[in-house]
Structure 1
Amino acid sequence: MKRLLFFFLLSTSTQAFAQDDAAAIRKLLATQTITWNQGDLEGFMQTYWKSDSLLFVGKSGATRGWQKTLDNYKKGYPDKDAMGQLAFDILEVRPLSPDHYFVVGKWMLKRKVGDLSGHYTLLMRKIAGSWKIIADHSS
């Protein structure tokens, strides 16, 4: 009986932390939207792990590294018109462990030069108390 009670309490507390973490991750994605829509790629990239091990997979293949990912964003979106207005539709935020989450969603860009949209999967990791994107696959 004590064991059952222990697992019940552990499950309940884990669910509470998971809800807080999911809310923090949704807030991070809202921050991404705001900074992108302000034309601030540097601010947008603050949500990513600032490491050479960051993995970004897009239509051109895999890229490793925070700086290389930023450089690719700057090349693909050289000005605010090219960036357009970003919106996310978050489809799933799933805990994998206390420090890792899997996120699935859809991205949409409204632009004068033509709208774009696609889907993304993110691997999030809590680093020094903050959630960061450590792997991004956007298509």
Structure 2
Amino acid sequence: MKKLLFLGIFLFGFQSFGQLSKDKQTILDILDRQTRAWNEGNLENFMKGYWESDSLMYIGKSGVKYGYHTTLANYKKNYPNLATMGKLKFDIIKVDFPAKDVCFLVGKWHLTRPEKGDIEGHYTLLWKKINGKWFIVADHSS
């Protein structure tokens, strides 16, 4: 009986690990798509990783801003052309799943901008699985 219980716990844990691994890869794939979109100058496609909601939270040097459309407008204002946007590179520092449908990601971003000068910083992203799809629901970039 103890062996059967152990086997059940082991299989449940293995299944959970497999799902987390799949979820992590899905999130990393979204970040890869965002990087490509940014480097092509396509902010609308870059934003597809974000939750299209008025509750989306973006925290930057000017404070907390809410809303998908507000975030997109701010990106367009701050990065009006390819020279300003530069080439984006993300480095992932940590990916953690504190709950089944929640992911906390810490990373570093770098923009290579030959004409404007390179800039870089760190970011934290709170991801949530909504209707079976992963979205960034809060972004804190510095």
CA apart distance, 1:6 = 2.5
Q: 130, 133, 136: which one pairs with 1:130?
A: 133
1:8 alignment partner in structure 2: 10
RMSD (Å), alpha carbons = 0.9
Provide TM-score, normalisation by structure 2.
0.94
2:117 alignment partner in structure 1: 114
In structure 1, C-alpha distance between the alignment counterparts of 2:103 and 2:6, rounded to whole Å:
27
In structure 1, C-alpha distance between the alignment counterparts of 2:8 and 2:100, rounded to whole Å:
18
CA apart distance, 1:4 = 3.1
1:67 alignment partner in structure 2: 69
CA apart distance, 1:126 = 1.0
Q: Report Cα offsets for 1:106-131 as digits up to 9, x if no partner.
A: 00000120100000000011112211
Q: Report Cα offsets for 1:67-87 as digits up to 9, x if no partner.
A: 000011011001111100000
Q: Percent identity?
A: 48
2:106 alignment partner in structure 1: 104
Q: Report Cα offsets for 1:28-54 as digits up to 9, x if no partner.
A: 100110000000001100110000000
Aligned residue for 1:21, secondary structure, equals helix
Which has the higher Rg, Structure 1 or Structure 2?
A: 2
Deviates more, 1:80-89 or 1:1-10: 1-10
In structure 1, C-alpha distance between the alignment counterparts of 2:48 and 2:24, rounded to whole Å:
18
In structure 1, C-alpha distance between the alignment counterparts of 2:81 and 2:137, rounded to whole Å:
25
Aligned residue for 1:86, secondary structure, equals strand
Q: Deviating runs (4+, > 6 A) in structure 1?
A: none
User: When the two structures are aligned, how many residues end up with a matched partner?
Assistant: 139
2:25 alignment partner in structure 1: 23
Q: How does 1:79-98 map to 2 (within 5 A)?
A: 79-98=81-100
Q: What runs of 5+ residues in structure 1 fail to find an aligned partner?
A: none
Provide TM-score, normalisation by structure 1.
0.96
